[in-house]
Amino acid sequence: MWRAIKKTISGLTSFLLFTLLIVTLFAVISTQAADGEPNVFGYEIKTVLSGSMEPEIQTGSIISIQPTDNPAQYEAGDVITYTNPDDNLVTHRVHEVENGGEQYITKGDNNNSTDSEPVLAEDVVGEYTGFTVPYVGYAIVFATSDQGAFLLLIVPGVLLLMYSAFTIGRALRQIDAPHKEQKARENDLNQN
């Protein structure tokens, strides 16, 4: 019974370490390959670090946006991601469309008033698709930092190698045990 539990725990530990390593490796490589912005099936994954769109989009969530081909296509009520004058990405709802779609007045759902500056259509990156996963953004920001990459890539990799060495050593001891018993018996027979 105890041996079966140990075997299950061993397999689960290996699986979890390997999965963590692969997922983190995928996240870091896809982020680096896309110049810091992961791209999955043509949708860009963005991290939301403010509460201006709560409750629909929570702080620390990741969201999916559809990159735009026509930045003048949006209507009031659409949620767009755009680059603000400080060169930061912002995701807010279109409140009004001005100049035939050349600029937008935007507002965060959780803000009391519209944004102070209109958004030029050329600054629109894409439209929010409605897909959001709460709290994962915190993990992605951490994983793409230097400390996070070290902790989530190197540490699981080293743990996996150490665990593999331990497992191989244990298997070799189990293989070697019958040989040692055989030699001990032969020595006992030779001494008698």
Between CA 91 and CA 106 the distance in angstroms is: 9
Q: What percent of the chain has pLDDT over 90?
A: 11
Residue 104 has pLDDT above 90, yes or no: yes
Q: In the chain, what percentage of residues exceed pLDDT 70?
A: 78
The model's pLDDT over 71-89, given as tens digits with 9 standing for 90+, comes to 888 989 999 999 888 888 8
pLDDT band at 145 (very low <50, low <70, confident <90, very high): confident
164 is catalytic: no
Please tell me the predicted confidence (pLDDT) of residue 81.
92
Q: What is the per-residue pLDDT for 32?
A: 59
pLDDT of residue 107: 92
Q: What is the pLDDT of residue 93?
A: 93
Region 28-43 average pLDDT: 63
Helices (H), the chain: 2-33, 136-143, 146-149, 155-191
| Mean pLDDT of the region 156-161 | 77
Q: Once rounded to an integer, what is the mean pLDDT over residues 112-125?
A: 90
Q: What pTM did the predictor assign?
A: 0.60
Q: Which of 10, 30, 50, 145 is catalytic?
A: 50
**Could you give phi then psi for residue 11, rounded to 5 degrees?**
-65, -40
- pLDDT class for 192, splitting at 50, 70, 90? low
Average pLDDT of the segment spanning 25-49: 69
Tell which residue, 157, 152, 84, has the closest CA to residue 120. Answer: 84
CA nearest neighbour of 14 among 24, 2, 22: 22
Q: Which residue has the tokens 């659409």?
A: 78
Segment 35-40 mean pLDDT: 61
What's the rounded Cα separation, in Å, for the pair 40 and 25? 15
Question: Of the spans 26-40, 102-116, 139-153, which averages the highest pLDDT?
Answer: 102-116
